[in-house]
Amino acid sequence: MKYRKREEVNYWMSYADLMSAMLMVFALLLTLVILDYKELLEKKEKEIEQVVSVKTEIIKALTEQFKESNMAIEIDQQTGAIRFPGSVLFSSNSSEIAPQGKEFLDAFIPKYLDILLQEKFRDEISSVIIEGHTDNKGSYIYNMRLSQDRAFSVLDYIYSEDSPDFPVKKLSQKYITANGRSFNQPLNNEKGEYDPDKSRRVEFLFRLKDDEAIKAVQELVQE
């Protein structure tokens, strides 16, 4: 009986030692995972800072370029999107660029693309998007077609023979696209009320290559 009891004690001591060793291994692995995760976050945070710095620099350059112009444009200081009223380019319910609209684009496009696609920025740019937006009069499909036609008309004019030449005109074909958004992104006035005049607009936006990845990391960090 004494011999059997000694065996039982030795068995439980061995089991306890095994569990202790396993806990130590688990703790070590957890520490390594935490350190790797911390290192990854620090790396991604540096990438975020770099991308934000590039975007800030581009927005600053665009603001400086157009701050003294008489163009009816608005620059979003967060995204860098440039908006101007649809009436600058088009008549009501039309996708044909008016003569004054062509003059506007002749002055705007070379300056805008020369800034975005200069050597300092071009490797960071993923795409440049022309977006057409409408008010909410009429059906979704009608306004989608109108907004798409307007965006394409701007794109078509940029590369037409009537449009002036500029240093990055050919290069810009690798970046620039055109989309219609119908009335899906309305704008409000200063009172927070829906503004159909502001909603009828054309926007020029740029995307950086790391925008989507950085957005995902920011969401992960905030969790």
Q: What is the pLDDT of residues 55-97, one digit of tens each?
A: 999 999 999 999 878 888 999 998 999 999 989 999 989 999 9
| pLDDT of 51 higher than 60 | no
Mean per-residue pLDDT of the chain:
83
Query: pLDDT band for position 37 (50/70/90)?
Result: low
pLDDT per position as a tens digit, 116-170 = 999 999 999 999 999 999 999 999 999 999 999 999 999 999 999 999 999 999 9
Identity of residue 101 = G
Tell me what pLDDT residue 36 has.
61
CA atoms within 13 A on the CB side of 25: 6
Contact (Cβ atoms closer than 8 angstroms) between residue 186 and residue 107: no
Check residue 31 and give its pLDDT: 72
The model's pTM:
0.73
